[in-house]
Structure 1
Amino acid sequence: MAADTLFHRITDYANRANPYPLYAELREEGVARQEDGSYLVGTYHEIQALLHDPRISSDRRKRTVPDATTAAQEGLPPAFIGLDDPEHHRLRNLTMRSFGPPHTPDRIDGMHDDITRIVKDLIGSFAGKERIDIVDDFAYPLPVTVICRLLGVPIEDEPRFREWSDAIVTGIDPSPREDPAERQRAAAEARKAMGLYLGELAEKRRAHPSDDMLSAFVSDSSDGQLTPLEIMTTSVLLLIAGHETTVNLITNGILTLLRHPDELARLRSEPALMPRAVEELLRYEPPVQMLPQRTPLADIEVAGVTVPKGAPLILMLASGNRDPRRFRDPDRFDPTRDDHTHLGFGSGIHSCFGAPLARLEAQIALNELLQYLDHPRLAEDPPPYRRSPVLRGPRHLLVEQGRAAVRGGQ
């Protein structure tokens, strides 16, 4: 089929369960100009170079023709993930002072016991169930609980964030040949509502600080403190990015392991291998499949193709992770693989700064699940997928265990 329809086919829900043949087709093209004037890049070395190229902007407002997603930012300014240096550098550094080293080196590692307790509590709710939905019963509530605890959101308010999160993620989905106006409006409203809630909570923490990130944001007396509006946009980013990617990492991980029972058994007996297995999962089935928000600030040449200034540039991370010119036997899931230079968390100045937390959550969650599940079996394969082609993962993942799994295998 024509290369200029690749993005339409990749984002077509009919291909959500297995986009990898389309990624292989894209790699054969190297760079593929699409019907709408955007350019897809699917090879590892080219993606890696572009992620480190200062001529590539993450600010959608730099596009020659502003796209519909830009409208979704109305009401709140862009978070730093959608900005360029020096503003991106300033905001990211201010955020990191409250999130990780060198200022708060123990914040993430210090959550190990809390995350373990949350995981075990969720698994405890499986008691008596022969069928479990890994998404609704486990992978979805875990990271939202963790990130809410990290920020300091009261437990009784946590359910509000699921509805907001769903609307925001749906709003960023690229859907060629579809009018995104309603999705963008709903995303803007959800983003504004979440931001206002977190801004008000931050102000409460100013008067009554606690040991959480919102308190750290408002009490930071260093030069260049985050403004109230920047606290709102940054907190929304932390909730969405810290939640959605981890949901898919855990769910894709369980799905992959159930499809590879020998590797599942090995990890169950050798839990020390889980950190390497999580890195392989980030390569093999990454939660973030693409970065659809890059824009050249000048005409650039990529693999012999000139991408004009201002054109939408879409980096297909999941395709790069399966590039045979970079990874040996790339379509094989190998939890003992030593080469971990994947694109699962991006690369360059915009690499995912929440990666240490996502890794920790996934390692604890998968190890505990593997120890708990009794003769697990997929009730449906492939499972139904979420609509998003960007943050790709199952919407439900029904797993039978114990007697149900045995009956299903008879």
Structure 2
Amino acid sequence: MTEVLSAQEVPTIRLDVLDPRFVVDPYPFMEEVRALGPVVRERESGYFLVTGYRDAARVMGLAKSFASDVEHFVALFGGATMECMDNPRHDQVKSIWAKDFQRGTLAERRAFVEHVVDEQTRDVIDRLRAGETVDAVTGMTRAIPTIIIATMMGVRPEDFRQFVQWSDDMGGVLEARDDGSPEGRARVERANRATRELNAYLLKEVARRRAEGGDDLVAKMATSDVPMAEDEIVASNTQLVFAGNETTSKLMGYAIAALAQHPEQRRELLHDRSLVPQSIEEAHRWTSVLVYNLRFVKEEGTVVGGVALPKDATVMVLQAAANRDPDRWDDPSAFDLHRPPQAHLGFGAGLHSCLGLNLARLETEVLINKLLDEVPDWEVLEPAWGTNPMVRGASAIPLRLPN
């Protein structure tokens, strides 16, 4: 019989996710945690850190035992979203949009996605061919997912740029909510203001859809038979804007950078485009957009990694570490697009797996294929990193073509 340890018996470590070095490269920090055991306690916060894939997937996927970070979602979006909900309510709300994000439905939108990618990459490609160094983030990856999700929501094109700005500012809550400095507090206030402004905009859009009807995502939720409070409807659409821009943009950046760092594997894609989807999955496993998330223990004595945790304990699931678990992947720190297919935690797990994962994959696939078609030898200079340790990504990815 496997011995179960008490929470007081686990090793401890100081893990400062606000250390600028963590955002640039969190993996050495997480390997220090992994070396101490399957469950490690963070000294200052008291959080229980989990690095192994099996334990992380269980904590993230078992909603009956581990609650989501409701406070985080309400602070970021101004109300409860499906990420905060347990079943059956979660599935009822998710069902409103589920069909729109299924692979078959999205396949019908492929031509539209290709059109947006063509439009948003034209200037970047021209400038690269002219010998310029161009930022992929401001040039492509921020705009593409925002335009696509905003179009699906029925947003007016003249409002697309404002949507990007709101989404950028909202990310400040994640980056600065634990930063007590004046600059940190100012970022949080900008984030809160962006949330209020976007919510006010969407509240008017919800009312307009109820009056005029429609078949876009806002209309479907605004007129659904699923009972929802007004702030839940607004917050759900706000989250859609944020997720459609923030996480997909970062995934695109990771895929571009990973293939630039591994030109021999990128050359394989030129001759076999069927490898593009699995190269994106490998990029997401290798460099996770979502570095960690929090869950809360619902029942006294719930066992994780051989440790009995107290009720209401906070579990910090280190998704990025779980995606490099050597018990699941051979040589996990290497980028290898030929790995046998296995699920990773880049899109979450279980009940709260990402609704838009198929859309994110499609958008990234179309973008990578476009770059392979037009500028297959792209190079990436040293990226500039943002300050968000949780939803990690580059704030600038300088692209160029070889001389």
Counterpart of 2:41, as a letter, is R
* 1:208 shift after superposition: 2.9
Rounded to whole Å, the distance in 2 between the matches of 1:294 and 1:368 is 39
Query: Which of the numbers 358, 361, 374 marks the counterpart of 2:360?
Result: 358
Counterpart of 1:22, as a letter, is F
Other structure's SS at 1:162 match: helix
Counterpart of 2:299, as a letter, is A
TM-score (norm. length: structure 2): 0.88
8 Å CA contact retained: 1:58, 1:84 = no
* 1:348 shift after superposition: 0.7
Structure-2 change in CA distance of 1:183 and 1:295 (3 Å): farther
Residue 7 of structure 2 corresponds to none
User: Gaps spanning 5+ residues in structure 1: where?
Assistant: 62-68
Q: Within the alignment, does 1:189 sit opposite 2:198 as a pair? A: no
Mean Cα deviation higher: 50-59 or 345-354: 50-59
8 Å CA contact retained: 1:280, 1:340 = no
Counterpart of 2:21, as a letter, is A
8 Å CA contact retained: 2:145, 2:245 = yes
8 Å CA contact retained: 1:119, 1:365 = yes
* 1:285 shift after superposition: 1.2
Residue 243 of structure 2 corresponds to 241
Residue 47 of structure 1 corresponds to 56
8 Å CA contact retained: 1:26, 1:32 = yes
User: Gaps spanning 5+ residues in structure 2: where?
Assistant: 1-10
8 Å CA contact retained: 1:11, 1:175 = no
Matches within 5 A, 1:264-275: 264-275=266-277
Alpha-carbon RMSD across the aligned residues, in angstroms, is 2.3
8 Å CA contact retained: 1:71, 1:184 = no
TM-score (norm. length: structure 1): 0.87
Structure-2 change in CA distance of 1:358 and 1:92 (3 Å): same
Rounded to whole Å, the distance in 2 between the matches of 1:141 and 1:322 is 30
* 1:226 shift after superposition: 4.1
Cα-to-partner distance string for 1:355-394 (whole Å, 9 max, x where unaligned) = 010111111111111222153222x32x111111111111
Cα-to-partner distance string for 1:195-224 (whole Å, 9 max, x where unaligned) = 22112112222333344212222344xx42
Matches within 5 A, 1:5-404: 5-6=14-15, 8=16, 10-29=17-36, 30-34=38-42, 35-53=44-62, 54-60=64-70, 69=72, 72=75, 76-96=78-98, 99-100=100-101, 106-126=104-124, 127-129=126-128, 130-173=132-175, 178=180, 181-220=185-224, 223-291=225-293, 293-299=294-300, 300-373=302-375, 375-378=377-380, 380-381=381-382, 383-401=383-401
Structure 1 stretches of 4+ moved >6 Å: none
Identity among equivalent positions (%) equals: 27
8 Å CA contact retained: 1:94, 1:226 = no
Counterpart of 1:124, as a letter, is R
Q: Paired residues, what number?
A: 383
Other structure's SS at 1:40 match: strand
* 1:308 shift after superposition: 2.0
Counterpart of 2:297, as a letter, is P
Rounded to whole Å, the distance in 2 between the matches of 1:59 and 1:289 is 15
* 1:186 shift after superposition: 3.2
Cα-to-partner distance string for 1:56-86 (whole Å, 9 max, x where unaligned) = 001445xxxxxxx58836x932212123334
* 1:287 shift after superposition: 1.4
Counterpart of 1:319, as a letter, is A
Structure-2 change in CA distance of 1:364 and 1:163 (3 Å): same
